[in-house]
Amino acid sequence: MIEIYKSAWQHFRRNSGTMLGLAAMLYLLDIAKAKWDLSAGATIVPQLLVVMFLHQMVLYGEKLNMIGKPSRKLQIGPFLWASFVIMIFAGLATVLFLVLSGLSQQQMLRAWIIVFLVFYYIFMVLLGTSLPAAVASDRYNPKISLIRAKSTWAAIAGGFIVGPVATGAILLAAVVILLNTFGASLAAFPKLGGINIFGLLVDFTWSVTGIFISLLGVVVLCRAYLRVAPPEILAELELAKQTEA
Tell the burial category of 111 from Cβ atoms under 10 Å away from its Cβ (0-12, 13-18, 19+).
Answer: middle
Q: Report residue 77's pLDDT band, with 50, 70 and 90 as the boundaries.
A: low
Q: Report residue 113's pLDDT band, with 50, 70 and 90 as the boundaries.
A: confident
In 3D space, the residue among 203, 208, 222 whose CA is nearest the CA of residue 54 turns out to be 222
Instruction: Return the pLDDT at 102.
Output: 75
Other CB atoms within a 10 A radius of the CB of residue 212 amount to 18
Measured in residues, the chain has a length of 245
Other CB atoms within a 10 A radius of the CB of residue 87 amount to 14
Instruction: Return the pLDDT at 49.
Output: 81
Averaged pLDDT for residues 132-152:
85
Q: Which residue has the higher pLDDT, 89 or 183?
A: 89
Instruction: Say what the pTM is.
Output: 0.87
User: Per mean pLDDT, which of 6-20, 45-59, 181-195 is the most reliable?
Assistant: 6-20
Instruction: Return the pLDDT at 222.
Output: 95
> Is 110's pLDDT higher than 70?
yes
Q: Worst-scoring range by mean pLDDT, 38-47, 104-113, 213-222, 231-240?
A: 38-47
What is the C-alpha to C-alpha distance for residues 199 and 204, in angstroms, rounded to an integer?
A: 9
> Is 193's pLDDT higher than 60?
no
> Is 14's pLDDT higher than 60?
yes
Instruction: Give the start-end residues of each E strand in 131-224.
Output: none
Task: Report the SS3 class of residue 78.
Answer: helix
Q: Report residue 87's pLDDT band, with 50, 70 and 90 as the boundaries.
A: confident
What is the C-alpha to C-alpha distance for residues 241 and 58, in angstroms, rounded to an integer?
A: 10
> Is 44's pLDDT higher than 70?
yes
Q: Which residue has the higher pLDDT, 196 or 25?
A: 25
The amino acid occupying position 198 is: F
**Contact at 8 Å (CB) between 45 and 26?**
no
Q: Worst-scoring range by mean pLDDT, 9-13, 30-34, 204-208?
A: 30-34
The amino acid occupying position 218 is: V
Averaged pLDDT for residues 152-180:
91
Q: Which residue has the higher pLDDT, 94 or 188?
A: 94
In 3D space, the residue among 214, 180, 172, 179 whose CA is nearest the CA of residue 198 turns out to be 179
